[in-house]
Structure 1
């Protein structure tokens, strides 16, 4: 038989063991704060900034074009952009003496409109044209801003030379020569396109990437000059 003292000590040990287990069960586990990887944090910050840009500049419509881009241009003074395609890159310099067209191009670049669009017209030995597509996102952005137009900023010294960047426009029923803000073209003919002088606003020029333009100019096209294979692009501000 166990001695009474031994039995008492065993009971105390059992009670202590059970009590300790209960305490362990009742103590909540401390939450460990997980630190997000740097790349994920940077990506999140970038999205927040892009959202702020869209919200801050979301008032553009047909009625306030000049005022909108005058203010936007004062706050966004960049003049260089980079177009990337599957054929290579094209670096552009935008002119400060066409301030509304410059600000418009920077605006559409920053809201990533051009990233929804293609080089959709290749008129060999003439121009390569971009800024449109058959995608719903392209149409959505155009509709959001009411398909606004830009007043011409035609300058005598800005000619349609090889590599000139200019704004497309409607040929018919457009006596004021209003520019399309979305569609642009680059002169691919090495002799230029002088017959377009004083008709379209030249608002920039190619500073590198002429070989890319020549590669685009060689693609197969249909009867409407639309490439048989889409030529998507991404456009970004580089200064």
Structure 2
């Protein structure tokens, strides 16, 4: 009479043990997923922590931008670690596999990303600004865009400076309004190579073009839709890590 009861009790113990092990495995898997910066969903609350960890695990700093005109190569600054990490993370996630240069302001910038982001399932976060006087809007600078009311950079929209050459008095006048000291390097660059000085200290410059700067000029010369900054013809791009 006792045997069936013992057997039943043993079976119950086995079932409990099995589900305990299963639950432990599932919990471990969830924990691993939640601590992987490549998989965790970034929010305004964890953006610094996730990007810092991702940047430490992914040291890439050279990118290739494939365009209809050829390949533009850029170097990302290690001194803007959050912007570098966010950009590399999105490249690895495939966000820039089918992007566009969708905005052109001749003699200023060409802007890339996705014009319509509603279908992309994007994470809702901004990158805290990493503005540094050493990185300014010279010709070929790579920077992140943001909305006027934003407190950080948009991770999804970047631009490359085409720029133009400025007179010294113009550069000094523009810089005076920023409240920051004008560096000799800035003054020399804007009066010889060119750039867009009035964007300084408003947007984070996080890299620069190292090959294919002439392609930026070609893209900036594309015809625009009437009374807009949008090119008539699509300019598809794909960004990869070479």
Q: 2:151 aligned with 1:189, yes or no?
A: no
Identify the match of residue 67 of structure 1 among 36, 43, 49.
49
- Relative to the length of structure 1, the TM-score reads 0.71
Does 2:118 correspond to 1:139? Answer: yes
Distance 1:161 1:64 in 2: 32
Structure 2: 5+ residue runs without aligned partners? 1-32, 165-193
SS at match of 2:218: helix
Residue 240 (structure 2) aligned to one of 211, 236, 239: 236
Q: Quote the residue 1:127 is aligned against.
A: 109
Residue segments in structure 1 that go unaligned for 5+ positions in a row:
1-51
Query: How many Å separate the matches in 1 of 2:122 and 2:131?
Result: 27
- Per the TM alignment, residue 56 of structure 1 is displaced from its structure 2 partner at its CA by 6.7
Distance (Å, rounded) in 2 between the aligned partners of 1:209 and 1:196? 22
Shift of 1:119: 0.2
**CA distances 1:47-96 after superposition (whole Å, capped 9, x unpaired):** xxxxx9xx872212212111111000000000000000111110000000
Structure 2 residue 197 is the aligned partner of structure 1 residue 226: no
1:111 corresponds to which residue?
A: 93
For 1:102, the equivalent position in structure 2 comes to: 84
1:195-231 superposed Cα distances (whole Å, 9 cap, x missing partner): 1111100000000101111110111112221111111
Distance 1:56 1:70 in 2: 9
CA RMSD in angstroms, aligned pairs only: 1.6
Separation in 2, partners of 1:56, 1:161: 32
Q: Check the 8 A contact 1:98/1:153 in 2, yes or no.
A: yes
Q: Structure 1 residue 117: deviation in Å? A: 1.5
Counterparts of 1:226 and 1:206, CA distance in 2: 22
Query: Partner of 1:60: helix, strand, or coil?
Result: coil
**Structure 2 counterparts to residues 1-239 of structure 1, below 5 A:** 57-62=38-43, 63-134=45-116, 138-141=117-120, 143-146=121-124, 148-171=125-148, 173-174=149-150, 176=151, 178-190=152-164, 191-222=194-225, 223-238=227-242
Rounded to whole Å, the distance in 2 between the matches of 1:79 and 1:203 is 10
> Which consecutive segments of 4 or more residues in structure 1 shift more than 3 A?
138-141
Change (3 A) 1:144 1:182: closer
Secondary structure of residue in 2 paired with 1:233? strand
